[in-house]
Structure 1
Amino acid sequence: MFNKKLKNSFTNKQVIKIISGINNFNTSNIVKYVKTCEISNATYVDIAADPTIVSFVKKISNLPICVSSINIKSLYNSVLAGADIIEIGNFDIFYSKGFIISPQQIKNMSYQLRIMFPTIDICVTLPYWLSLDQQIKLAIYLESIGINIIQTEGHLSKDINSQLFKKYIKNYNLYNCVFKASSSLASVYGLSKNINLPIIASSRMNVLNSSIALSYGASGIGIKSSISNFSNITQMSSYINEIKYSLNISKTYRNIAKSKNNYYCYSNNIDYDDQMLFYNV
């Protein structure tokens, strides 16, 4: 990571990115997400790649700013305006218009941006519709050219809201929360075993599934839909604080589990008599 403000959060795997939306150009609405990020002490904010908006946010906040787009010119101008991270991604708006970006297009854009900005942190979203094997191959290539962060995305099936699901699944609300992010979580797990880049789990992340993302190998999460329906900043920031609490608990349990595993490995590398002595101390 080039940005020192972000390095510690990524190293500690406690990143929370607040997403205002790739197509959100409403400054008053963007301010809600920025202030939510500040109040809850989240890591950074992700906004539309618009230099005017970037300049505006820089004036009202010291938060690291990520800009998302598939337009290289917009990303370039946003960096000139002060953006700290550039991201190829948040493809949801394009899917709804019937546009799908290909792996080769992602490779070309990523390579071009890395050449243009050798000291700017670059994040690339992997399309959910690629098979896991294709996502891994693309991520390995992106790592080889110096991309800093990988982001996963999920796909929500319309069937999840059907009466059939609600009738036969006893704990529908819990199932719904986890299922919505299932493809994103699966990608996180597969990618974390094959690349050494930090991974952001995004798409339908919430207070129930965020800790799962970290246990699967993510360095953090991207949040938008879970807070977009709240009416005010207080409610939005309170929800982010709940997520932070969940992530902290998850980290604590992982550390405990790791310590127990290390103890087990250590004790199995000494002979039986020494083990008995060790257990009886």
Structure 2
Amino acid sequence: MSSSIFTTVSNTILKPNQNPLLQINSPFTKRVSCTRRSTSLTTTRALLSTTKEIVLKDFQQRRALKIISGLQNLDRDNVASVVTAADKGGATHVDIACDAELVRLATTLTALPICVSSVDPTAFPAAVEAGALMVEIGNYDSFYEMGLTFSPEQILHLTKETRRILPSIALSVTVPHTLSLPDQVKLAEQLEEAGADIIQTEGGKCSNPSKAGILGLIEKATPTLAAAYSISRAVRIPVMCSSGLSSVTAPMAITAGAAGVGVGSAVNKLNDVVAMIAEVKSIAESLNLSTVGGNVFQQNNLRL
């Protein structure tokens, strides 16, 4: 019997006690219930798959620009300004702290895909339920400032646990700059095997430019550019180059092999939203991103 017939029968005006086929414990009713669950699950999986494809599309086209407010930045006003700047400045994604209330705030300000960052996989589901369409294990800068670092084993465990909890969500994982370049490449390969969709690089915090101006900007970006170059040639999934980038060095990241760039302090440390928008626009223009018509999410206002 087809699922459409099951649905038709289950929607008849007969009450269960009037039709033995629809009694609660009958085999037929159990089959109806199983069919409905199966259909619902199939529909949900298809929707999640489609959403994930759209979230990753800009990476696959090597044109992603993610603006980052900070893993431990819970300042609603600052986060709102960063999200607004990402939306108005031409970014393709925005990354905020893994907090459901912040996610709900962000969804009122933009139709861009919202990524949430954390090192606690159990914190992701609530943020996803609130509207986040991508999760990130990374943005470790605030932990480095506290003297904390993450080993390859720890990051691999966090990745596997996140993928177990959220098998269908777009997952980005940062490879720490505290590892040697060969070890970063090795970890990236393991993360790809563990189910990561994007590898993110970092390095700005470990760079101490000796020059001012453009030379200093290039010096600051060198570690993350080197990581993007090496990792992008070792994995098949997109690599996002992040940390220490600017409108000067963002195009270099794409040339080095990155599928997109992540920008944090260059935007979130500015004093007002106007300056933030101007900075995002400058970076977007350096990547030749057009804001006309917006991205796929702005066009369709897609939400789960």
| TM-score relative to the length of structure 2 | 0.75
In structure 2, distance between residues paired with 1:76 and 1:205: 30
Determine which of 158, 161, 177 is the counterpart of 1:109.
Answer: 158
Give the aligned partner of residue 175 of structure 1.
215
In structure 1, distance between residues paired with 2:197 and 2:61: 16
Give the aligned partner of residue 23 of structure 1.
72
Letter in 2 for 1:239: E
**Equivalence map 1:50-129=2 (5 Å):** 50-129=99-178
- RMSD between superposed Cα atoms in Å: 1.8
Give the aligned partner of residue 257 of structure 1.
none
Q: Kindly state the Cα deviation for residue 78 of structure 1 after the two structures are TM-superposed.
A: 1.4
Tell whether the 8 Å contact from 1:69 to 1:88 is kept in structure 2 after alignment: yes
**Equivalence map 1:206-217=2 (5 Å):** 206-217=246-257
Secondary structure at the counterpart of residue 108 of structure 2: helix
In structure 2, distance between residues paired with 1:4 and 1:157: 34
* Identical columns (%): 35
Give the aligned partner of residue 138 of structure 1.
187
Give the aligned partner of residue 39 of structure 1.
88
Q: How many residues align?
A: 240
Secondary structure at the counterpart of residue 82 of structure 2: helix
Q: Kindly state the Cα deviation for residue 5 of structure 1 after the two structures are TM-superposed.
A: 3.4
Gaps of 5+ in 1: 167-171, 250-281
In structure 1, distance between residues paired with 2:70 and 2:205: 18
Larger radius of gyration: 2
In structure 2, distance between residues paired with 1:43 and 1:232: 21
Greater mean alpha carbon deviation, residues 58-67 or residues 110-119: 58-67
Give the aligned partner of residue 270 of structure 2.
230
Give the aligned partner of residue 202 of structure 1.
242
In structure 2, distance between residues paired with 1:206 and 1:5: 26
Q: Kindly state the Cα deviation for residue 145 of structure 1 after the two structures are TM-superposed.
A: 2.1
Q: Kindly state the Cα deviation for residue 231 of structure 1 after the two structures are TM-superposed.
A: 3.0
In structure 1, distance between residues paired with 2:166 and 2:268: 32
Greater mean alpha carbon deviation, residues 57-66 or residues 141-150: 57-66
Give the aligned partner of residue 218 of structure 1.
258
Q: Kindly state the Cα deviation for residue 156 of structure 1 after the two structures are TM-superposed.
A: 3.6
Letter in 2 for 1:185: L
Tell whether the 8 Å contact from 2:78 to 2:268 is kept in structure 1 after alignment: no
Letter in 2 for 1:197: I
Secondary structure at the counterpart of residue 261 of structure 2: strand
In structure 2, distance between residues paired with 1:47 and 1:156: 19
Greater mean alpha carbon deviation, residues 96-105 or residues 76-85: 76-85
Tell whether the 8 Å contact from 2:55 to 2:170 is kept in structure 1 after alignment: no
Gaps of 5+ in 2: 1-48, 290-304
Secondary structure at the counterpart of residue 280 of structure 2: helix
In structure 1, distance between residues paired with 2:193 and 2:206: 33
In structure 2, distance between residues paired with 1:140 and 1:65: 26
**Residues 240, 107 of structure 1: CA spacing in aligned structure 2 closer, same or farther, 3 A cutoff?**
same
**Residues 158, 105 of structure 1: CA spacing in aligned structure 2 closer, same or farther, 3 A cutoff?**
closer
Tell whether the 8 Å contact from 1:6 to 1:43 is kept in structure 2 after alignment: no
Residue-by-residue CA offset, 1:112-166 (whole Å, 9 max, x unaligned): 1111111100000000011111111111111112210000001445753xxxx45
Secondary structure at the counterpart of residue 47 of structure 1: strand
Moved over 4 A (4+): none
Q: Kindly state the Cα deviation for residue 175 of structure 1 after the two structures are TM-superposed.
A: 1.6
In structure 2, distance between residues paired with 1:229 and 1:90: 15
Give the aligned partner of residue 147 of structure 1.
196
Greater mean alpha carbon deviation, residues 134-143 or residues 58-67: 58-67
In structure 2, distance between residues paired with 1:183 and 1:30: 27
Residue 48 (str. 1) matches residue 88 (str. 2) = no
Secondary structure at the counterpart of residue 136 of structure 2: strand
Secondary structure at the counterpart of residue 146 of structure 2: coil
Residue 242 (str. 1) matches residue 282 (str. 2) = yes
In structure 2, distance between residues paired with 1:74 and 1:133: 31
Q: Kindly state the Cα deviation for residue 96 of structure 1 after the two structures are TM-superposed.
A: 0.9
In structure 1, distance between residues paired with 2:223 and 2:98: 26
Secondary structure at the counterpart of residue 287 of structure 2: helix
Q: Kindly state the Cα deviation for residue 239 of structure 1 after the two structures are TM-superposed.
A: 2.0
In structure 2, distance between residues paired with 1:118 and 1:57: 24
Tell whether the 8 Å contact from 1:5 to 1:64 is kept in structure 2 after alignment: no
| TM-score relative to the length of structure 1 | 0.80
